[in-house]
Amino acid sequence: MANHTAVPARRLEGRTAIITGAGSGIGRASVERFLAEGANVVAVDIDGAAAEATVAAADAGERAVAVTVDVTDAAAVQRSVDLALERFGSLDVYYNNAGLPQVAALVEDVDDETWRRAIDVNLTAIFLAARIVVPIMKRQASGVILVTASMSGIRPRPQLCAYTAAKGGAVVLARQLAIELAEFGIRVNSVNPVSTDTPMLSQFGSGDHTTAKATPIGRLGRADEIAAAAAFLASDDASFITGSALQVDGGRGI
């Protein structure tokens, strides 16, 4: 997919970011964007080969490294954090972007495993990461935690109960962390995309939520547009923004 979003000055020069779900879609676009703005990046994905491909395509030399991580495994998340600190000396941004879709289904047809996995990946993983990175950021007296939530977590759609519950929880957890951590110089924000043209979209099944009808603007979102919003929130241009749920939604939230 072509990147149509202009890249501004290198606002993230010298900072280190971990980006989860980096193997495709919004994660891959975010790795590209953060590197373009000067950051060092640890690209995390449960599919290690996909993360490696993202890093190889970015061609950023020593400023990017890929690692295989299941974000629901606290020990694996810890290893990615340790790698960031060892390789780059700091951890300035942790971007919880990894997510799991839900095939559209009536609530009575959603099994326990679908529910639990959606909550684990889309919500619990944010808590696990925060528990690990917050002490580091407190010692630095600075840091940014970002979350890819969803407009579905604010304005639910039918037949996505597990997904919307998890994403709604992600929005509120980000706000709670923002309140708790503001005094330590740590900002926490979520980005709320509408249906975005990524490989994950087809996994939601059919329906208007997967087509251009999803937005008043009349098209799907692009991964690079979400990445641009995340880079803004990670930068000093957003230094007075915390607890925000930034809607990148083509007007869906109106």
**Mean pLDDT (whole number) for 228-238:** 97
Task: Judge whether 209 lies within some domain.
Answer: yes
CATH value at residue 94: 3.40.50.720
Least confident segment among 15-24, 145-154, 232-241:
145-154
Q: Which among 94, 163, 204, 232 is annotated as catalytic?
A: 163
Indicate if the pLDDT at residue 102 is higher than 50: yes
Task: Judge whether 6 lies within some domain.
Answer: no
Cβ of 19: how many Cβ atoms within 10 Å?
34
The tens digit of pLDDT for each residue in 170-202 reads 999 999 999 999 999 999 999 999 876 556 655
Task: Judge whether 120 lies within some domain.
Answer: yes
The tens digit of pLDDT for each residue in 155-173 reads 888 899 999 999 999 999 9
Task: Judge whether 147 lies within some domain.
Answer: yes
The tens digit of pLDDT for each residue in 45-87 reads 999 999 999 999 999 999 999 999 999 999 999 999 999 999 9
Say what the pTM is: 0.91
Task: Give me the percent of the chain exceeding a pLDDT of 90.
Answer: 78
Task: Judge whether 87 lies within some domain.
Answer: yes
Residue 251 has a pLDDT of: 79
Task: Judge whether 2 lies within some domain.
Answer: no
Please count the CA atoms within 13 angstroms of the CA of 12 that sit on its side-chain side: 32
Overall number of domains in the chain: 1
| Band of residue 1 on the pLDDT scale cut at 50, 70, 90 | very low
Residue 212 has a pLDDT of: 65
Residue 2 has a pLDDT of: 46
Q: What are the Cα distances from residue 163, in Å, to 142, 167, 204? A: 31, 6, 10
Task: Judge whether 4 lies within some domain.
Answer: no
**Mean pLDDT (whole number) for 213-218:** 76
Task: Judge whether 163 lies within some domain.
Answer: yes
Cβ of 84: how many Cβ atoms within 10 Å?
26
| Higher pLDDT among residues 147 and 207, named by residue | 147
Residue with tokens 């099994």: 111
Give the orientation angle of helix 125-140 with respect to helix 161-181, to 10 degrees. Answer: 20
Select from 108, 104, 100 the least CA-distant residue to 207: 104
Cα–Cα distance for residue pair 119/110, rounded to 1 Å: 13
Residue 146, domain extent: 16-248
94 is catalytic: no
Task: Note whether 196 and 250 are within 8 A (CB).
Answer: no
